[in-house]
Amino acid sequence: MKSYIFKIKYQAMLVWLATGLVLQGCEVDNIPDPNNPTVESVLNNATVDDLNNLVVGTEAGMRNFLGTYYDNMGVIGREHYRFSSADPRFTADLLGKGSSVLDNNTFYTTNPWAGRYRVVKNTNILIASVFNTTLITEEQRQGYLGFAKTIKAHQLLMNLTMMWEPGIRIDVDDPDNLGPFVERSAALDSIALLLEEGAGHLAAAGEEFPFSLSEGFAGFNDPAGFLQFNRALAARVAVYNEEFEDALGFLEDSFLELNTDFNKGVYYVFSASSGDVLNPVFVAPNSSGEIRIAHPSFIADIAPNDDRRSKVLEREEAASLDGLTGKYDVALYKTNTDPIPIIRNEELILIYAEANIQTGNTLEAVRALNIIRQGHGLGPYAGSVTQAALIDEMLEQRRYSLYFEGHRWVDMRRYGRLNELPLDRPGDDVWTTFPKPFIEEAF
């Protein structure tokens, strides 16, 4: 009898235990993302800290896939070779080797493109957030908007330089309902308009930004300074759009200085700090494997005494791959944390020269070109002062002054001179544009 009761007790306890397991919180707790803040968290009543994180992320994101972008521009523009023992497509597809063509679904097409739009998306979220918070002042709001629209314009322009023919999308606010592709000229107009709006916001943004930018914006990190950066970009857009009078106007409000302070400007900066990235195009001299070799024409064509020769460095041993050989390393950057220019005074002087050539002020153009020439150890310009001759000279100075900064291919293209770029192997091609990314076709 006793043992019977004992048994029942055990039984009851075990059944209770089992039931407990079943019933004990039949609910499952919703686990919020344990790893990252959600996008929704900044869209409602964001604090200055939230918005500043977006600003920093935006500036940081501008550097994504920059290495691929400079390789695309430089290799097609015959400024350098990108030798890669791991990826043959740099020397095949980009140079149009044999019957190779640019693929619409390969990293060189898709990665920089998506990288820039990722920043555009961040600026769009920043713009939406500042309109949906009561925790900032009106001046602060204007500051955020001025920053966001200027950077957005720059990022769109970067993509347009690759997608010269298919054009780009301007309206990308709603990922489920993307705006149409806009062809080049209209896209340039839209970018110019964005810069114009940005300039308006910056003018109303007071003395200080509520956020701080990196060292890359030193001297341009308050509304007034940032406005000069905005106007410099506007000048670049204007010459791309062949609106040369406008370009001269924008330059006046930019940081243009007609002197040899060529490197004054705005930069991408790099560091080895946590969550940061290193200069993606730095390669130590005389490396092998993954290297950037100056196109032989750079040294073949450079004038004696031109100090821009220092942008390349003779190798101890020549490098060869895939039927291509070069003796010089691209050596613009000496360490893996050297900054890369976004836009600098040397380009502004050259834009000034170009706009003056195109608007008939040839003497003023020669004066600007001579600042460049003399600043690099060359004598004053001694050639003909016809518009055609000066365009040749201007393009040549841009070639050396802006070497490996992503301009050569764009310049030769806008002047219809891609056929003047040298071909290294029979069957090589110079591309006019990157194709529209495969996935964009489907939407």
Partner 1 sequence: MKKHYPLKLLALLFWLVSVTAYGQATVSGKVTDAGSGMALPGVAVVVVGTTTGTSTDVNGNYSITLPTEQGRLTFSYIGYESRTITVTPSITTLDVQLTEKTTSLSEVVVTGLATSVKRTNAANAVSTLNTRELTGITSPQTMDAAISGKLVGANVVANSGAPGGGIAMRLRGVTSVFGNAQPLYVIDGIIVDNSTISGGLNVVTAAANQGNASNQDNASNRIADINPDDIETIEVLKGASAAAIYGSLAAAGVVIITTKRGTSGKTLVDISQDVGFTEAAHLLGVRTFTEERVISTYKDRPDLVEQFIAARDAGRLIDYEEELYGNKGMLYNTRLNISGGSEKTQFYVGGLIQDEEGIVKRTGYEKKSLRFNLDHEISERFDFSLSTNYVNSIAKRGLTNNDNAGVSFGVALSSTPSFADLFRDESGLYPDNPFAASNFLQTRDLMTNEENVDRFLGGLTLNTNLYNTTVSSTRLVIRAGLDFYNLKTVAIFPRILQFEQNGNQGTSIQGNNYNLNTNFAAFLVNDLSLGDDNLNFTTTIGATRENFNQDQVLTIATQLIGSQTNLDQSSAVTVDQTQLPVRNKGLFFQEEVNFRDRIIATAGLRLDKSSNNADVNEFVAFPKFSLAINLANFDFWTRESVNMLKLRAAYGEAGGFPPFGAKYTSFSPFNIGGSPGIIVPIQRGNADIKQERQKEFETGVDIGVLQDRVILEATYYIKTVSDLILVQNVPGSSGFSTRVVNGGELRNRGVELALSATPFDLPGFKWNSRTSYWVNNSEITELDVPPFPLGGFGNTLGTFFIEEGKSATQIKGIKGEEGVVVLGDAAPDFQMNFHNFFTIKENLTFSFLLHWKQGGDNINLTQLLTDLGGTSFDYDDDDDGDGVPNAAERTAALGVSAEPFVQDASYLRLRELGLYYTLPTAFLEGATKGIVRQVRIGASATNLFTITDYDGYDPEVSNFGGNGLSTGVDVTPFPSSKRYFLHFTIGF
Binding mask 271-300 for partner 1 (x = CB under 8 A): xxxxxx------xx--xxxx----------
Residues 191 and 102 sit within 8 Å (Cβ to Cβ): no
Q: Which is nearer to partner 1, 225 or 437 (CB)?
A: 437
5 touching partner 1, by CB under 8 A: no
Q: Which is nearer to partner 1, 23 or 382 (CB)?
A: 23
Q: Which is nearer to partner 1, 238 or 280 (CB)?
A: 280
Tell me the window of 48-56, 74-82, 144-152, 183-191 that interacts with partner 1 (CB under 8 A). Answer: 48-56
The whole-angstrom distance between residue 165's C-alpha and the CA centroid of its chain comes to: 19
| Site residue total, partner 1 (CB under 8 A) | 104
Q: Which is nearer to partner 1, 79 or 93 (CB)?
A: 93
CA separation (Å) from 8 to 2, 4, 5? 10, 6, 5
Distance CA 407, CA 21 (A): 68
**Element holding 84 (H helix, E strand):** strand 80-84
Q: Which is nearer to partner 1, 28 or 300 (CB)?
A: 28
Give the angle 270-276-278 at the CA atoms, nearest 5°. 40
**Can you tell me which of 48, 87, 128, 367 binds partner 1, judged by CB under 8 A?**
87
246, two tokens:
């406008």
Binding mask 297-336 for partner 1 (x = CB under 8 A): --------------------xx-xxxx-x----------x
- B/e letters for 151-189, b = 16+ CB within 10 Å, e = fewer, are bbbbbbbbbbbbbbebbbbbebeeeeeeeebbebeebbe
Distance CA 247, CA 243 (A): 6
84 touching partner 1, by CB under 8 A: yes
**Can you tell me which of 117, 244, 298, 431 binds partner 1, judged by CB under 8 A?**
117
Q: Which of residues 334-353 bind partner 1 (CB under 8 A)?
A: 336
Tell me the window of 9-17, 235-243, 372-380, 404-412 that interacts with partner 1 (CB under 8 A). Answer: 9-17
**Element holding 166 (H helix, E strand):** none
Q: Which is nearer to partner 1, 260 or 325 (CB)?
A: 325
Altogether, the residues listed in the chain come to a count of: 443
Q: Which amino acid is at 232?
A: A
Least gap, CB of 428 to partner 1 (angstroms)? 11
Q: Which of residues 204-263 bind partner 1 (CB under 8 A)?
A: 212-216
Q: Which is nearer to partner 1, 289 or 379 (CB)?
A: 289
Least gap, CB of 181 to partner 1 (angstroms)? 9
Residues 430 and 419 sit within 8 Å (Cβ to Cβ): yes
Question: In angstroms, how far is the first alpha carbon of the chain from the final one?
Answer: 79
Maximum Cα–Cα distance for the chain, whole Å? 123
Q: Which of residues 388-417 bind partner 1 (CB under 8 A)?
A: none
Residues 430 and 164 sit within 8 Å (Cβ to Cβ): no
Q: Which is nearer to partner 1, 19 or 305 (CB)?
A: 19
Q: Which of residues 14-43 bind partner 1 (CB under 8 A)?
A: 14-15, 17-18, 21-22, 25-31, 33-40, 42
Side-chain half-sphere of 195: how many Cα atoms within 13 Å?
28
Strand-pair partners of 181: 169
Q: Which of residues 155-184 bind partner 1 (CB under 8 A)?
A: 168-169, 172, 175, 178
